[in-house]
Amino acid sequence: MTAKPDLPDKVRRNLAALGVAGEEWLARLPAVAAELERRWDVAIGETMPNATEAYVAEAVSASGEPVVVKVPIPGVEKAPRELAVLLAARGEGYVRVLQHDPASGAMLLERLGPQLAQLGYAATRQTEIICATLRQAWRAPPPELPLLTGAQKAQALADTVRSVTRKFPDACSPRTAAVALRFAEERRAAFDPAASVLGHGDAHAWNTLADPKTADFRFVDPEGLFIEPAHDLSISLREGSHEFLAGDPLKLGRAGCQRLAHLATVDPRAIWQWGLLEILANGLLYLDVGSPDDAAPFLAVAEAWATAESG
């Protein structure tokens, strides 16, 4: 590989936000990929279109096995945790790591089937599949795993709300920001190692892939959390924001939350609080590094949910 790859727009926006570090990484990428081809004896092909924080490309091994090469962009704080989670999982609930390179953070992964989002299933069926896959993936993590705790995740989401609303004061109402920060504090205080699991952290339909060898699905791109299961379930609420706006976002959101709680036997209040936090933070991040049009649905749902909260 000698030419610069055709990276997805989201990856290019994230690189642009890094300034010189992003430019230097992009300039080195062809050489890094060529070295990985040589070392792992693979032929790298087309760039995969849905990556956001890494160069991800199809590849084929010398024996003809379809694989995937992934090289994270600089500054991706979750990258070491992602590798640690995948190595610890050993293919149970997650994609399997075949090789990895500590210097670049690159991974050679088995190639799974299509993403759940591409299969044409109704949103309710997607949620059922994600919940079933989470039940396979949730476990007590090995004690040495470098994971972000539920308390730290809640704090990180609160920090996002504070920092981006300072930069964009009109992004959301003061009430919505206050409700989100109150929820973040409640989830931070509720962190309990005895009730926490190895959490994916971003379990949505684009990160849930069909296993071509079975009828099951497995996850890619874990954030790597030690957290209550309610957080993983809340990601389905975040990803349902567009659908919630097709009707009454509060009523539809509440119904979705209750359904998740029933499917996984988890406290709906915890799912709801994480859901509002994730929806608002996602919208704010789109506003900060992305497109106002992409941010709008998330911010609208967060506003609708926050207005229903007392105090």
Same domain, 257 and 232: yes
Q: Which of 222, 210, 301 lies closest to 256, judged by CA?
A: 301
Same domain, 288 and 166: yes
Last residue of a domain, one of 78, 110, 142: 110
Q: Which two tokens stand for residue 106?
A: 């690159």
- Does any domain span residue 311? no
pLDDT the model gives residue 52: 87
The span from the CA of 283 to the CA of 36, in Å, is: 36
- Does any domain span residue 152? yes
In order along the chain (311 residues), what is the average pLDDT of each group of 10 residues? 74 90 93 95 93 94 96 89 94 96 93 96 96 96 93 98 97 97 98 97 97 94 97 98 97 98 97 98 92 95 93 57
Same domain, 76 and 41: yes
Number of domains in the chain: 2
pLDDT tens-digit map of 35-90: 999 999 999 999 998 888 999 999 999 999 999 999 999 888 889 999 999 999 99
Same domain, 104 and 143: no
Instruction: Map tokens 């010398």 to a residue.
Output: 62
Same domain, 89 and 142: no
Same domain, 98 and 147: no
Same domain, 31 and 78: yes
Report how far apart the first and last C-alpha atoms of the chain are (Å, whole number).
Answer: 58
Same domain, 149 and 280: yes
- Does any domain span residue 3? no
The span from the CA of 148 to the CA of 155, in Å, is: 11
Last residue of a domain, one of 110, 143, 171: 110
Same domain, 280 and 150: yes
| Beta pairing class for 148-149 and 225-227 | parallel
Same domain, 263 and 121: yes
CATH of the domain at 76: 3.30.200.20
Is the Cβ–Cβ distance between 54 and 72 less than 8 Å? yes
Could you tell me the residue range of the domain that residue 95 belongs to? Answer: 9-110
Same domain, 88 and 131: no
pLDDT the model gives residue 3: 61
pTM of the model: 0.92
- Does any domain span residue 21? yes
pLDDT tens-digit map of 12-34: 988 988 999 999 999 999 999 99
b/e burial code for range 267-300 (CB count within 10 A of at least 16 → b): ebebbbbbbbbbbbbbbbebbeebeeeebebbbb
Last residue of a domain, one of 57, 77, 110: 110
- Does any domain span residue 59? yes
Same domain, 159 and 221: yes
- Does any domain span residue 176? yes
- Does any domain span residue 2? no
CATH of the domain at 178: 3.90.1200
Torsion angle (degrees, nearest 10) of CA 43, 46, 50, 53: 50
Find the helix packing angle between 174-190 and 292-306, rounded to 10°.
Answer: 80
- Does any domain span residue 105? yes
